[in-house]
Chains A and B, each alone.
Chain A
Amino acid sequence: MTDVTAEGGKNTPSSPPLASSGRAPGRGRRDWPLYEVFVRGKRGLNHVHVGSLHAPDDEMAVHAARDVYTRRNEGVSIWVVKAAAITASSPDEKDPMFAPSGDKVYRHPTFYEIPDNVPHM
């Protein structure tokens, strides 16, 4: 197993793989890379991460994503990307990288006090 798990991209704290039964006939699903799946719900919206799956190649990943994640018109467009190709900001969701924005409250409109009688603002 590689050190890549779904939704993590690289940097995911990897854990030891669960013990395998040792059954490995030929080259099978065990070797298929993990793909993260993104779906555009409708025109005008961003693609949003919906989950992951394993597939032997990019094209089959798109086909599988269609069956697994869009059985009821959940989307108009699908992206798949190998989880191994994603670089994440850091191993921790609470990243010091985002801390600097914490003290820049002046970047938000609510920082500014405007009298109630000013229209359209």
Chain B
Amino acid sequence: MSAPTLDRPAAPDEVALQAQFDATIAADHRIEPRDWMPEAYRKGLIRQIAQHAHSEIIGMQPEGDWLLAAPSLRRKAILLAKVQDEAGHGMYLYSAAETLGADRADLTDKLIERKQKYSSIFNYPTQTYADVGVIGWLVDGAAICNQVPLCRSSYGPYARAMIRVCKEESFHQRQGFELLMTMMGGTGAQRAMVQDAVDRWWWPSLMMFGPPDDDSPNSAQSMKWGVKRHSNDELRQRFVDMTVPQAAVLGVTLPDPELALDPETGRYRFGAIDWDEFKQVLAGKGPCNDERIARRRAARDDNAWVTEAATAYADKHAS
């Protein structure tokens, strides 16, 4: 086969390109890296994928805090595997972001310089081992609700990364639920520990779906482009509907007196979310924002010698 030209062809009419892009979206086909795409689509995707990747990476910290204090070797091995998966999820996502022209080292720098965000949920502390179980159950459960529809996202590499991620999330949620069931079958103090963790994590978990639809500036465009498939409020409602019966099996009370089944819709009504708290945490004023970023910065800077040593090793063996 003769080598095709390496240069990009002279830019044809942007209108035609836009029409082709729109037709691909309308037909529910995937946009692939080498396709022409509107600049706003590319930038918006980089923002969303980077934020998602950063959440996976920062998300290792709250659970990682319990690795050395896991109550048994079995729990420790499970937690280690789970935290390692989250690192993998970050890697899949940075890989997808790079197909859009981003550079992963730059993305990490932007995270550390607080120019890009990550999920607000990881700015809360893990106070007891029950928090590990509740994170698996509620936080990974909410992540699953968010991520399953993203497997059909219009951008091919993002959708494919999500498929890999979703295959692994089920383990995360189930190990958490099993851990909580074990504790609920234990002593009164252990049951109280679980309830306390549920009380602390329930509302922040609901905030994971983002601001309400009428206050979510990027959502409409993102849904028009097929990057997002469902609105924040719709996903949040799905999560509540899935979780309430699980809480009943577990024997814990969700900390919301207004939580009640609406007999007409078959869906659960729930109380008002404290969006001021959400905004505070996003603005960097959550309980652990500084700690999370400081640790990520230390990981980058203190471990730089490892990458330098690997580079030196590669150079030596190349010659």
Q: Which residues of A are at the interface with B, using a C-beta cutoff of 8 A?
A: 1, 5-8, 10-21, 23, 25-32, 34, 50-54, 56-57, 60, 67-69, 71-72, 87-94, 97
New contact pairs (10) apart from A1-B103, A94-B20, CB-CB < 8 Å: A6-B99, A7-B157, A13-B36, A18-B107, A26-B311, A30-B103, A51-B92, A51-B95, A53-B91, A71-B88
Complex Cα–Cα for A69 and B167 (A): 12
Contact B101 A14 (CB under 8 A): yes
For residue B100, which residues in chain A have a CB less than 8 angstroms away from its CB? Answer: 5, 15
Knowing A17-B106, A18-B107, A57-B318, the reply to whether A28 touches B34 (Cβ < 8 A) is no
Residue contact B304 to A28, C-beta cutoff 8 Å: yes
Contact with A56, one of B6, B84, B311 (Cβ below 8 angstroms)? B311
Q: Which of A8, A20, A25 contacts B106 (CB 8 A)?
A: A20
The proximity string for B residues 40-67 relative to A, scoring 1 for CB distances below 8 Å and 0 otherwise, is: 0010001000000000000000000000
- The answer to whether A29 and B307 have CB atoms under 8 Å apart is yes
Given contacts A56-B313, A93-B35, contact A51 B8 (CB under 8 A): no
User: Interface of chain B, helix or strand or loop or mixed?
Assistant: helix
Which B positions have Cβ atoms within 8 angstroms of A?
A: 3-6, 8-9, 20, 32-36, 42, 46, 81, 84-85, 88, 91-92, 95-96, 98-107, 109-110, 112-113, 157, 160-161, 164, 168, 304, 307-308, 310-315, 317-318
Question: A7 near B33 (CB under 8 angstroms)?
Answer: yes
Asked if B6 and A30 sit within 8 Å, CB to CB, the answer is no
Nearest Cβ in chain A — how far from B25, in angstroms? 14
Residues in B whose Cβ lies below 8 Å from that of A6: 33, 95-96, 98-99, 157
Q: How far apart sit A60 and B103, CA to CA, in the bound complex (Å)?
A: 20
A-side contacts of B308, CB under 8 Å: 25-28
Bound CA–CA A93/B20 (angstroms): 12
Q: Are B99 and A7 in contact (CB under 8 A)?
A: yes
